[in-house]
Amino acid sequence: MNMDPDIFREALAEFEGAVGPAHVKWRPEELAPLAKATIPQPRRPGAVVYPGDSQEVEAVVRIARHFGIPLWPCSKGRNWGYGSATPVEEGTVVLHLERLNRILEVNDELAYAVIEPGVTYRQLREHLDRHHPDLWCDCTDGTPHGSVLGNALDRGLGTTHYADHFGTLCGLEVILPSGETLRTGGGVENCHTWHTHKWGVGPYIEGLFSQSNFGVVVKAGVWLMPRPGSFVSFTFDLARADDLPQLVDTIRRLSLEGVISSAVHLINDVVTLSVLAQYSPEQLQRYSRLPPEELARMRQEYGVSDWSFGGGIQGRPSMVRAARRELRRALSPLGRLMFVDDRLIGVVRVLLGWRKRPWLRGFIDGAVRVVTGKSPAMLEAAPEIHGVLKGIPSDYFVRHAYFKSPLPKPVESHPDRDDCGITWLAPIVPMTGEHVSRVVSLCKDYFDRYEFDFYVALLIQNPRSMIVLTAIFFRKDDAEQCKAAESLYQELSSAIAASGYQAYRVGTPGMRALAGKNPQFHAFLKSLKNAADPGNLLAPGKYGL
């Protein structure tokens, strides 16, 4: 951004006047930690402004408009691997909404909440547990401190049958680039269905505010789940890697039929290892990826299979029993299926307690291996997996970001703070064994060529589409690895697009390239953007806009 420094300082003074000086960060020393992101080359924001309510958001938008300063809205800025809180264009001012963190309403009867953008998964879950115990919310397997709305607006995916986060938003309040406030759909005065009927009447425009830059969402309805009468989670390990296409076809059928309704995360060995383990200092020094013999040794040590997945089944007890039967029938021929309920998790917790006594540890570890075929590390993971599949957020999984970090996995993860290098690249494909295998092997070729560990998770987005979520783990303190990660990202993105697949979600490094992909689509959006935001004030460059 080329801005006259005097005008910029004047604008900062006005921002300070609107939200209070303590809530505007622009000095180099306070901006440096906020400008960090796990992607290879994050763009520096010009400042970060933290309004305290929607009136202050409005004031900030009007000031920015007056001075022609672009704004990058974010809710909690934990968009790790996609750019965190950093913008596409250098110098854009981040409009950080974490202080807007009120849960405004919970409707027990109709199972929805109305929340502000700074509300986190943990906050919402704890609030429900305490005050509305008959309701559950979904979460991601990312940080508990992520924003419910931020993730939904970027169309993130969760872990339960309410995993399609944008799909569960209903009724938005948005501040437009003009500074005016808009309510979508049924958000007119006295309308009772604002948070119950997603489509409103007439054109549906909520989509314009997701993966886009048409407004700042300051309030939204989020649908919640009734606490189920029965809940069981399951884990599955594929016996033969060659059966992956057959497994994908089986999962699609189960999903189309409604036997599987939760989000399945079908993960490869590197994903499991990144959660359970970490590079040793020697490995970090010697390799940019684990050589096959090291990978094989670690797989053995941690009892990791080529492909595995977990899922949840919830509902009335009879429904859960029927789903278990169907899953067993469909999946048992392909590998090992295990069901886990709260009682079993209780036993696991007792065993984990006993494991703390050195004289019992060896005996328990041996017994776990013989009875379940799993490693002790998996035993520790079991309560976390079972919990996250119920929508209970956990910091456990996001520690995978420290797989190639010289730091030990912390209690409270913050990969930006700790200079972890991770960037997501996530094509979406029709959910057939053929499409999935084609894209997985295309990605693997590129990862091998660039000598990075091949991390891939296959996520059900809906019963017809699967996300092939890959992550490039690299060392931020190694210039060569940063460069290689960037090149791999750009080249693989182009190769995926050339093969006829699109991205499910894009990080800031991939946004520029989107502009040329579908000319009519972009021309139409551009004309809308010109009308709504003639100064290109909001999040310039976001998703190619």
- Binding residues for ligand ADP, rule: CB under 6 A, are 73-79, 85, 97, 117, 146-147, 149-151, 153-154, 216-217
- For residue 281, the number of C-alpha atoms closer than 13 Å in the C-beta half-sphere is 2
β-sheet bridge partners, residue 538: 71
The Cα 262–Cα 158 span in angstroms is: 9
CB of 253 to ligand ADP, least distance (A): 33
CB 119 within 8 A of CB 147: yes
Whose Cβ is closer to ligand ADP: residue 315's or residue 507's? Answer: 507
CB 236 within 8 A of CB 184: no
CB of 111 to ligand ADP, least distance (A): 22
- Taken in order 426, 417, 60, 169, is the CA torsion positive or negative? positive
Q: Which residues contact 467 (CB under 8 A, 6 or more apart)?
A: 157, 426, 427, 428, 457, 458, 459, 460, 461, 504
The Cα 236–Cα 256 span in angstroms is: 19
Whose Cβ is closer to ligand ADP: residue 78's or residue 122's? Answer: 78
CB of 177 to ligand ADP, least distance (A): 11
Reference 119, options 169, 83, 162; nearest CA is 169
Whose Cβ is closer to ligand ADP: residue 25's or residue 76's? Answer: 76
Whose Cβ is closer to ligand ADP: residue 78's or residue 435's? Answer: 78
The Cα 113–Cα 151 span in angstroms is: 16
Reference 197, options 158, 226, 223, 163; nearest CA is 223
What residue type is 340 in one-letter code? V
- For residue 306, the number of C-alpha atoms closer than 13 Å in the C-beta half-sphere is 11
- At residue 385, the 3 state secondary structure works out as helix
Whose Cβ is closer to ligand ADP: residue 79's or residue 413's? Answer: 79
DSSP state of 410: P
Strands 47-49 and 24-25: antiparallel
> From the CB of residue 217, how many other CB atoms can be counted at a distance below 10 Å?
26
DSSP state of 54: H
CB of 458 to ligand ADP, least distance (A): 22
| Number of residues that make up the chain | 545
Whose Cβ is closer to ligand ADP: residue 154's or residue 306's? Answer: 154
Whose Cβ is closer to ligand ADP: residue 78's or residue 252's? Answer: 78
Tokens of 437: 């295998």
Whose Cβ is closer to ligand ADP: residue 117's or residue 335's? Answer: 117
CB of 108 to ligand ADP, least distance (A): 25
Identify the burial level of 536 via C-beta atoms within 10 angstroms of its C-beta, where 0-12 means exposed, 13-18 middle and 19 or more buried: middle
* Helices vs. strands in the chain: H and E counts, helices first: 17, 19
Backbone phi, then psi, for 410, in 5-degree steps? -85, 170
Whose Cβ is closer to ligand ADP: residue 186's or residue 507's? Answer: 507
Q: Which residue is nearest to ligand ADP (CB)?
A: 150
The Cα 383–Cα 461 span in angstroms is: 24
Strands 502-505 and 265-268: unpaired
CB 34 within 8 A of CB 48: yes
The Cα 488–Cα 49 span in angstroms is: 34
Whose Cβ is closer to ligand ADP: residue 100's or residue 429's? Answer: 100
Whose Cβ is closer to ligand ADP: residue 61's or residue 443's? Answer: 61
Whose Cβ is closer to ligand ADP: residue 219's or residue 252's? Answer: 219
Reference 456, options 301, 231, 223, 274; nearest CA is 274
